[in-house]
Amino acid sequence: MGRFSGKAYLVTGAARGIGEAVVRRLASEGAAIAAADLDAAGLETLAVDLTAQGSRIVTAALDTRDSAATDAFVTRAISELGRLDGAVPCAGVARSARAEEMSDAAFEDVLGINLTAVFYTCRAVGRVLLAQGAGAIVNLASITSKGGQPGRANYAASKWGLVGLTKTLAVEWGHRGVRVNAVAPNGVDTPMIRDGIPPDFLEGVMLDRTPLGRLAKPEEIAAVIAFLLSDEAAYVNGAVVEVDGGVTAGFMTHQHGAAFGAKSIPPKN
Ligand SMILES: NC(=O)c1ccc[n+]([C@@H]2O[C@H](COP(=O)([O-])OP(=O)(O)OC[C@H]3O[C@@H](n4cnc5c(N)ncnc54)[C@H](O)[C@@H]3O)[C@@H](O)[C@H]2O)c1
Protein backbone atom coordinates (compact mmCIF):
# COMPACT_ATOMS: atom_id res chain seq x y z
CA MET A 1 0.00 0.00 0.00
CA GLY A 2 1.29 3.48 -0.84
CA ARG A 3 0.07 7.05 -1.09
CA PHE A 4 -1.22 6.41 -4.62
CA SER A 5 -2.71 2.93 -4.23
CA GLY A 6 -5.87 2.64 -6.31
CA LYS A 7 -5.07 5.83 -8.23
CA ALA A 8 -3.90 6.45 -11.79
CA TYR A 9 -1.88 9.25 -13.36
CA LEU A 10 -1.09 10.29 -16.92
CA VAL A 11 2.54 11.29 -17.52
CA THR A 12 3.89 12.69 -20.81
CA GLY A 13 7.57 12.73 -21.73
CA ALA A 14 7.58 9.48 -19.78
CA ALA A 15 10.28 7.59 -21.68
CA ARG A 16 13.26 9.27 -20.02
CA GLY A 17 14.46 12.06 -17.75
CA ILE A 18 12.10 13.66 -15.25
CA GLY A 19 9.02 12.01 -16.77
CA GLU A 20 10.47 8.54 -16.34
CA ALA A 21 11.45 9.34 -12.74
CA VAL A 22 7.89 10.55 -12.05
CA VAL A 23 6.44 7.34 -13.50
CA ARG A 24 8.75 5.18 -11.39
CA ARG A 25 8.06 7.17 -8.22
CA LEU A 26 4.26 7.13 -8.60
CA ALA A 27 4.25 3.44 -9.52
CA SER A 28 6.46 2.60 -6.53
CA GLU A 29 3.77 4.18 -4.33
CA GLY A 30 0.99 2.13 -5.88
CA ALA A 31 -0.25 4.20 -8.84
CA ALA A 32 -1.30 2.84 -12.21
CA ILE A 33 0.27 4.81 -15.07
CA ALA A 34 -0.74 6.10 -18.48
CA ALA A 35 2.58 6.99 -20.13
CA ALA A 36 2.98 8.96 -23.38
CA ASP A 37 6.07 9.95 -25.34
CA LEU A 38 7.32 10.26 -28.92
CA ASP A 39 9.82 7.50 -28.12
CA ALA A 40 7.96 4.19 -28.60
CA ALA A 41 11.02 2.04 -27.79
CA GLY A 42 11.67 3.92 -24.55
CA LEU A 43 8.04 3.47 -23.52
CA GLU A 44 8.23 -0.24 -24.26
CA THR A 45 11.32 -0.67 -22.07
CA LEU A 46 9.61 1.23 -19.27
CA ALA A 47 6.41 -0.79 -19.60
CA VAL A 48 8.24 -4.12 -19.49
CA ASP A 49 10.14 -3.03 -16.40
CA LEU A 50 7.11 -1.71 -14.52
CA THR A 51 4.93 -4.66 -15.43
CA ALA A 52 7.63 -6.99 -14.08
CA GLN A 53 7.47 -5.05 -10.82
CA GLY A 54 3.71 -5.57 -10.62
CA SER A 55 2.55 -2.12 -11.73
CA ARG A 56 -0.20 -1.41 -14.24
CA ILE A 57 0.82 0.73 -17.19
CA VAL A 58 -0.67 1.68 -20.56
CA THR A 59 1.46 3.51 -23.10
CA ALA A 60 0.98 5.62 -26.21
CA ALA A 61 3.61 6.79 -28.68
CA LEU A 62 2.20 10.20 -29.54
CA ASP A 63 3.17 13.78 -30.15
CA THR A 64 1.63 15.86 -27.37
CA ARG A 65 1.00 18.63 -29.92
CA ASP A 66 -1.68 16.36 -31.40
CA SER A 67 -4.66 17.22 -29.20
CA ALA A 68 -6.91 14.56 -30.79
CA ALA A 69 -4.33 11.85 -30.00
CA THR A 70 -4.04 13.16 -26.45
CA ASP A 71 -7.84 13.13 -26.00
CA ALA A 72 -7.98 9.59 -27.40
CA PHE A 73 -5.24 8.41 -25.02
CA VAL A 74 -7.11 9.84 -22.03
CA THR A 75 -10.21 7.91 -23.13
CA ARG A 76 -8.15 4.71 -23.52
CA ALA A 77 -6.42 5.21 -20.16
CA ILE A 78 -9.79 5.50 -18.40
CA SER A 79 -11.07 2.44 -20.20
CA GLU A 80 -7.98 0.32 -19.39
CA LEU A 81 -7.07 1.65 -15.94
CA GLY A 82 -10.59 2.45 -14.78
CA ARG A 83 -9.81 6.00 -13.67
CA LEU A 84 -7.48 9.00 -13.77
CA ASP A 85 -6.55 11.10 -10.77
CA GLY A 86 -4.15 13.56 -12.33
CA ALA A 87 -1.43 14.35 -14.80
CA VAL A 88 2.21 15.37 -15.01
CA PRO A 89 2.96 16.81 -18.46
CA CYS A 90 6.76 16.40 -18.67
CA ALA A 91 7.22 16.36 -22.45
CA GLY A 92 9.43 19.33 -23.23
CA VAL A 93 12.30 20.47 -25.42
CA ALA A 94 15.04 23.10 -25.46
CA ARG A 95 16.46 24.52 -28.69
CA SER A 96 18.92 27.26 -27.86
CA ALA A 97 20.00 29.98 -30.29
CA ARG A 98 20.72 33.70 -30.15
CA ALA A 99 17.39 35.48 -30.56
CA GLU A 100 18.48 37.35 -33.68
CA GLU A 101 19.40 34.01 -35.30
CA MET A 102 16.55 31.88 -33.98
CA SER A 103 14.45 30.28 -36.73
CA ASP A 104 10.66 30.37 -36.85
CA ALA A 105 10.68 26.60 -36.38
CA ALA A 106 12.88 26.73 -33.26
CA PHE A 107 10.59 29.29 -31.64
CA GLU A 108 7.34 27.62 -32.68
CA ASP A 109 8.44 24.07 -31.80
CA VAL A 110 9.45 25.02 -28.29
CA LEU A 111 6.29 27.06 -27.67
CA GLY A 112 4.21 24.28 -29.27
CA ILE A 113 5.60 21.47 -27.12
CA ASN A 114 6.37 23.28 -23.85
CA LEU A 115 3.23 25.40 -23.68
CA THR A 116 0.43 24.67 -26.19
CA ALA A 117 0.75 20.89 -25.86
CA VAL A 118 0.84 21.12 -22.06
CA PHE A 119 -2.45 23.00 -22.30
CA TYR A 120 -3.86 20.15 -24.43
CA THR A 121 -2.81 17.58 -21.80
CA CYS A 122 -4.17 19.67 -18.93
CA ARG A 123 -7.45 20.22 -20.81
CA ALA A 124 -7.91 16.55 -21.68
CA VAL A 125 -7.18 15.26 -18.17
CA GLY A 126 -8.81 18.29 -16.53
CA ARG A 127 -12.19 17.43 -18.11
CA VAL A 128 -12.07 14.04 -16.39
CA LEU A 129 -10.95 15.48 -13.05
CA LEU A 130 -13.60 18.22 -13.13
CA ALA A 131 -16.33 15.68 -13.89
CA GLN A 132 -15.35 13.67 -10.80
CA GLY A 133 -14.66 16.79 -8.72
CA ALA A 134 -11.18 15.68 -7.66
CA GLY A 135 -7.63 15.46 -8.94
CA ALA A 136 -4.30 17.22 -9.26
CA ILE A 137 -1.93 18.30 -12.04
CA VAL A 138 1.73 19.28 -11.71
CA ASN A 139 3.43 21.16 -14.56
CA LEU A 140 7.15 21.48 -15.27
CA ALA A 141 8.17 25.12 -15.09
CA SER A 142 11.85 26.06 -14.67
CA ILE A 143 14.11 28.64 -13.08
CA THR A 144 13.88 30.12 -16.58
CA SER A 145 10.33 31.09 -15.60
CA LYS A 146 11.92 33.42 -13.01
CA GLY A 147 14.04 35.50 -15.40
CA GLY A 148 15.69 35.52 -18.79
CA GLN A 149 18.54 33.36 -20.08
CA PRO A 150 20.65 34.24 -23.12
CA GLY A 151 19.93 31.95 -26.06
CA ARG A 152 16.61 30.82 -24.66
CA ALA A 153 14.02 33.33 -25.90
CA ASN A 154 11.81 30.41 -26.97
CA TYR A 155 12.29 28.34 -23.82
CA ALA A 156 11.87 31.30 -21.43
CA ALA A 157 8.71 32.45 -23.23
CA SER A 158 7.30 28.92 -23.00
CA LYS A 159 8.05 28.54 -19.29
CA TRP A 160 6.76 32.01 -18.32
CA GLY A 161 3.63 31.11 -20.28
CA LEU A 162 3.40 27.82 -18.45
CA VAL A 163 3.32 29.63 -15.11
CA GLY A 164 0.44 31.77 -16.38
CA LEU A 165 -1.36 28.63 -17.55
CA THR A 166 -0.79 26.87 -14.21
CA LYS A 167 -2.05 29.77 -12.12
CA THR A 168 -5.08 30.34 -14.35
CA LEU A 169 -6.11 26.66 -14.21
CA ALA A 170 -5.60 26.72 -10.43
CA VAL A 171 -7.99 29.65 -10.16
CA GLU A 172 -10.54 28.24 -12.63
CA TRP A 173 -10.57 24.69 -11.31
CA GLY A 174 -9.63 24.91 -7.61
CA HIS A 175 -13.17 25.44 -6.36
CA ARG A 176 -14.23 22.40 -8.40
CA GLY A 177 -11.80 20.09 -6.59
CA VAL A 178 -8.88 20.16 -9.02
CA ARG A 179 -5.51 21.53 -7.87
CA VAL A 180 -2.90 22.69 -10.41
CA ASN A 181 0.68 23.47 -9.39
CA ALA A 182 4.14 23.57 -10.95
CA VAL A 183 7.71 22.84 -9.97
CA ALA A 184 10.56 25.07 -11.08
CA PRO A 185 13.82 23.10 -11.25
CA ASN A 186 17.31 24.44 -11.94
CA GLY A 187 19.53 22.00 -13.85
CA VAL A 188 18.42 18.38 -13.60
CA ASP A 189 20.75 15.61 -14.71
CA THR A 190 18.82 14.39 -17.77
CA PRO A 191 19.61 14.07 -21.48
CA MET A 192 18.03 17.51 -22.03
CA ILE A 193 20.66 19.27 -19.96
CA ARG A 194 23.59 17.05 -20.93
CA ASP A 195 22.83 17.42 -24.66
CA GLY A 196 21.61 21.01 -24.60
CA ILE A 197 23.94 23.02 -22.35
CA PRO A 198 27.60 23.61 -23.24
CA PRO A 199 29.80 21.95 -20.57
CA ASP A 200 31.62 25.22 -19.79
CA PHE A 201 28.30 26.99 -19.12
CA LEU A 202 27.17 24.09 -16.96
CA GLU A 203 30.36 24.00 -14.88
CA GLY A 204 31.25 27.69 -15.02
CA VAL A 205 27.86 29.28 -14.48
CA MET A 206 25.02 26.96 -13.51
CA LEU A 207 26.81 24.80 -10.97
CA ASP A 208 28.99 27.68 -9.76
CA ARG A 209 25.90 29.76 -8.88
CA THR A 210 23.95 26.90 -7.33
CA PRO A 211 24.45 26.86 -3.55
CA LEU A 212 24.12 23.07 -3.43
CA GLY A 213 26.85 22.91 -6.11
CA ARG A 214 25.42 20.12 -8.24
CA LEU A 215 22.63 19.23 -10.63
CA ALA A 216 19.43 17.77 -9.26
CA LYS A 217 18.74 14.09 -9.77
CA PRO A 218 15.46 13.46 -11.67
CA GLU A 219 14.27 11.50 -8.62
CA GLU A 220 14.60 14.64 -6.47
CA ILE A 221 12.19 16.49 -8.76
CA ALA A 222 9.86 13.49 -8.87
CA ALA A 223 9.71 13.42 -5.05
CA VAL A 224 8.38 16.99 -4.92
CA ILE A 225 5.94 16.30 -7.76
CA ALA A 226 4.63 13.25 -5.87
CA PHE A 227 4.11 15.42 -2.79
CA LEU A 228 2.18 18.01 -4.81
CA LEU A 229 -0.05 15.30 -6.31
CA SER A 230 -0.70 13.73 -2.93
CA ASP A 231 -3.33 14.57 -0.32
CA GLU A 232 -0.51 15.93 1.86
CA ALA A 233 -0.56 18.95 -0.46
CA ALA A 234 -4.36 19.28 -0.26
CA TYR A 235 -4.16 23.04 0.38
CA VAL A 236 -1.43 23.79 -2.19
CA ASN A 237 -2.93 25.25 -5.38
CA GLY A 238 -1.43 27.59 -7.98
CA ALA A 239 2.04 27.32 -6.45
CA VAL A 240 5.30 27.28 -8.40
CA VAL A 241 7.65 25.39 -6.12
CA GLU A 242 11.36 26.07 -6.59
CA VAL A 243 13.37 22.84 -6.55
CA ASP A 244 16.59 24.53 -7.54
CA GLY A 245 19.34 23.91 -5.00
CA GLY A 246 18.95 27.51 -3.82
CA VAL A 247 19.94 29.20 -7.08
CA THR A 248 17.03 31.64 -7.06
CA ALA A 249 17.54 32.39 -3.37
CA GLY A 250 20.62 34.39 -4.24
CA PHE A 251 21.83 37.02 -6.67
CA MET A 252 25.38 38.36 -7.08
CA THR A 253 26.24 34.86 -5.97
CA HIS A 254 29.00 32.62 -7.22
CA GLN A 255 31.27 29.87 -5.93
CA HIS A 256 28.17 28.36 -4.31
CA GLY A 257 27.56 31.63 -2.49
CA ALA A 258 30.83 31.40 -0.55
CA ALA A 259 32.95 33.96 -2.38
CA PHE A 260 31.18 37.15 -1.33
CA GLY A 261 31.28 36.19 2.34
CA ALA A 262 34.93 35.19 1.97
CA LYS A 263 35.81 38.84 1.29
CA SER A 264 35.45 39.05 5.08
CA ILE A 265 33.35 42.10 5.72
CA PRO A 266 34.96 43.51 8.87
CA PRO A 267 32.88 42.94 12.01
CA LYS A 268 31.36 46.13 13.44
CA ASN A 269 32.09 45.26 17.06
N1 LIG B 1 16.55 18.90 -17.22
C2 LIG B 1 16.47 20.10 -16.68
O3 LIG B 1 17.48 20.68 -16.27
C4 LIG B 1 15.13 20.79 -16.54
C5 LIG B 1 15.07 21.93 -15.73
C6 LIG B 1 13.86 22.60 -15.60
C7 LIG B 1 12.73 22.14 -16.26
N8 LIG B 1 12.80 21.03 -17.04
C9 LIG B 1 11.60 20.60 -17.75
O10 LIG B 1 11.25 19.29 -17.37
C11 LIG B 1 10.60 18.63 -18.46
C12 LIG B 1 11.31 17.31 -18.73
O13 LIG B 1 12.66 17.58 -19.05
P14 LIG B 1 13.78 16.44 -19.11
O15 LIG B 1 15.04 17.07 -18.65
O16 LIG B 1 13.28 15.21 -18.47
O17 LIG B 1 13.88 16.27 -20.71
P18 LIG B 1 14.38 15.00 -21.57
O19 LIG B 1 14.79 15.58 -22.89
O20 LIG B 1 15.37 14.21 -20.83
O21 LIG B 1 13.04 14.15 -21.75
C22 LIG B 1 11.93 14.71 -22.43
C23 LIG B 1 11.03 13.62 -22.96
O24 LIG B 1 9.93 14.26 -23.63
C25 LIG B 1 9.70 13.59 -24.85
N26 LIG B 1 9.09 14.53 -25.80
C27 LIG B 1 9.64 15.63 -26.33
N28 LIG B 1 8.78 16.22 -27.18
C29 LIG B 1 7.65 15.46 -27.17
C30 LIG B 1 6.40 15.55 -27.84
N31 LIG B 1 6.14 16.55 -28.68
N32 LIG B 1 5.48 14.59 -27.59
C33 LIG B 1 5.74 13.57 -26.76
N34 LIG B 1 6.90 13.45 -26.08
C35 LIG B 1 7.85 14.37 -26.30
C36 LIG B 1 11.07 13.11 -25.32
O37 LIG B 1 10.98 12.05 -26.25
C38 LIG B 1 11.72 12.71 -24.00
O39 LIG B 1 11.48 11.36 -23.69
C40 LIG B 1 10.63 19.62 -19.62
O41 LIG B 1 9.42 20.34 -19.67
C42 LIG B 1 11.75 20.55 -19.25
O43 LIG B 1 11.61 21.83 -19.85
C44 LIG B 1 13.99 20.34 -17.19
* pLDDT tens string 9-42: 999 999 999 999 999 999 999 999 999 999 999 9
Q: Ligand 1 pocket by C-beta < 6 Å: which residues?
A: 12-13, 15-19, 37-39, 63-65, 90-93, 113-114, 117, 140, 142, 185, 187-188, 190-193
**What would the pLDDT profile of 176-217 be if each residue is shown by its tens digit?**
999 999 999 999 999 888 887 888 888 888 889 999 999 999
| pLDDT at position 59 | 98
**260 lies in some domain:** no
9 as an active site residue: the answer is no
**90 lies in some domain:** yes
**130 lies in some domain:** yes
In total, how many domains does the chain have? 1
**265 lies in some domain:** no
171: CATH: 3.40.50.720
**182 lies in some domain:** yes
Q: In the predicted model, is pLDDT for residue 263 greater than 80?
A: no
**1 lies in some domain:** no
More confident residue, 5 or 197: 5
Residue ranges making up the domain that contains 133: 8-242
**269 lies in some domain:** no
**266 lies in some domain:** no
How many angstroms is it from 162 CA to the middle of ligand 1? Answer: 14
The full DSSP string for the chain is: --TTTT-EEEEESTTSHHHHHHHHHHHHTT-EEEEEES-HHHHHHHHHHHHHTT--EEEEE--TT-HHHHHHHHHHHHHHHS---EEEE---------GGG--HHHHHHHHIIIIIHHHHHHHHHHHHHHHHT-EEEEEE--GGGSS--TT-HHHHHHHHHHHHHHHHHHHHHGGGTEEEEEEEES-BSSHHHHHHS-HHHIIIIITTT-TT-SPBPHHHHHHHHHHHHSGGGTT--S-EEEESTTGGG-SS--GGGHHHHHT-PPP--
Residue with the smallest CA separation from ligand 1 atom 29 is 91
